[in-house]
Amino acid sequence: MQRATLIKVGKRVVQIGLPVVVLIFFVIFIQKNWSQLTVKSFQWNPWLLVLSFVGFLVQTLSYGVIWRAILARLGYHLGFRNALRIYLASEFVRYIPGNVWHVLTRVLWAGQYKIPRSVAFASMVIELVTKLAAGVFVFALSLIFWGNLGAVQALAVGAPLLIGLGVVLMVALLIGLHPRILQGVLGWGLRLLKREPIVIALRYRDILVILLYWCISWLIAGVAFYVLVMALWSHVPLIALPICMGIYALAWDIGFLSFITPSGLGFREGAIAGLFKLALPIFPVALVTIIAILSRLVSTLAELVCVSLAYLSGGRQVREVQQMREEQHAVVAKSVGDSSQGV
C-alpha cells in the first residue's frame, strides 16, 4: 500500500515539477539570448495574434466535428450541436486529476443518445489514431519544402533525400491505416495494456476520409501557427508556411506521446524549437523559444474558451460525472477501511 502511494506521489511530483523546471529553463534561455531579438528587430503585432487565436479556435471546434463524422461511419448519428457539446464538455473533465475521466464522460454522454459504449470507445480510439497519423502525414508532406531554404545544409542532406523520406513516410502511413493492419496493431497494443480488444468496423476508404479531415484540421492549425510567427517577426518568408504546418503537427504528436507531463508540456515546445533549428535556422534562437511558449498559451486559451462554453451548456452533466467520481472514490475508501478492520 505504501509503495503504491509513493508511486502515485512520485508521479504527481514529476507531472507538476517537470513543467515548472521546463518553464524556468525557457525563461533563463530567453534572458541569455535576448540580445538576438534586439538585433533582429523583434516586434509584436496584436492583430495577427488575435487572428492566430481564431485559427486555433476553429481547429479546436473541428475536433468535435471529426468525432461526429467517425460516429456516422460507425452507423450512429449525433446532431451537430450535441456532438460539439459532448466532445468539448468532456474535455473539461480532462483537467480533473486522473487520465480516464474525459473518456468515461464522453462514453456516458454518448450513451444518452443510444450509442453503445463499445462503439463510443472505438470511435475515440479511431479518432486518436487517425489524428496522430494525420500529424505525421502533414509533417511528411512539409519535408518537400525543407530544401527550399537551404535549411539542412549543415547536415549535408539534400532536398531529393528529404522528398524521398516524406514520400516513404506517407506511403507507410497509408499502408498502416488499412483496417486489417490497424486492427492487428491496435489489438496487440491493447493486450499489452491489458485492455479489451476493439473492432475497427470501418472500410479503408472511410479511414482515409477521416485522415483527410484531420489533415485539414492540422492545416488550419498550421496556418494559425504561421500567423502567430508573423505576429512576432514580420520577416518570415511565405515558403515557411508549409514548414510551420509540418512542425506544429509533428510537435503536437511528440507532446501527446510523451505521457509524462500534462498535454506534453515542455516536450511539444522542445520539439518546436528543435525542428525550427533544423528547418528554419534563419530565426533567432530566443525568438523560437518565445514562439514555442506563446503557441502553447494561445492554443490552450482557444481550447479553454471552447471547453468553457460547452461546460456552460452542459454543466449539469459535468457535475453528475464529478459526483459519480467522488462516490466511486468514497466506495473504494470504504472498502479499503473495511478490509483493514477485518485484518
Quote the mean pLDDT of the chain.
77
10-27 pLDDT, tens digit per residue, is 555 555 555 556 556 656
User: What pLDDT, in 10s, does the model give residues 101-110?
Assistant: 667 778 888 8
Q: What is the pLDDT of residue 141?
A: 92
Q: Is the model's pLDDT at 4 over the cut of 50?
A: yes
pTM across the whole model: 0.79
Mean pLDDT of 298-324: 71
pLDDT of 283 over the 90 cut: no
DSSP annotation string for 191-233: HHTT---------HHHHHHHHHHHHHHHHHHHHHHHHHHHHH-
End-to-end alpha carbon distance in the chain: 14
Angle, nearest 10°, between helix axes 80-92 and 285-313?
A: 120
Give backbone dihedrals phi and psi of 177, rounded to 5 degrees, phi first: -90, 0
What whole-number distance in Å separates Cα of residue 84 and Cα of residue 87? 5
Q: Which of 39-43, 171-175, 219-223 has the lowest mean pLDDT?
A: 39-43
Phi, psi of 222 (to 5 degrees): -65, -40
**Spatial separation of the C-alpha atoms in residues 238 and 223, rounded to whole Å:** 11
Q: For the segment 164-212, what is each residue's pLDDT rounded down to a tens digit?
A: 778 888 888 889 888 888 888 777 776 776 666 677 778 999 999 999 9
Supply the pLDDT for residue 155: 45
The DSSP 8-state label assigned to residue 343 in this structure reads -
Cell numbers at 131, concatenated: 489524428
Reported confidence tier of residue 56, pLDDT bands at 50, 70, 90: very high
What's the whole-number mean pLDDT along residues 106-133?
A: 86
Q: Specify the DSSP class assigned to residue 157.
A: -
Q: How far apart, in whole angstroms, are the C-alpha atoms of residue 124 and residue 103?
A: 8
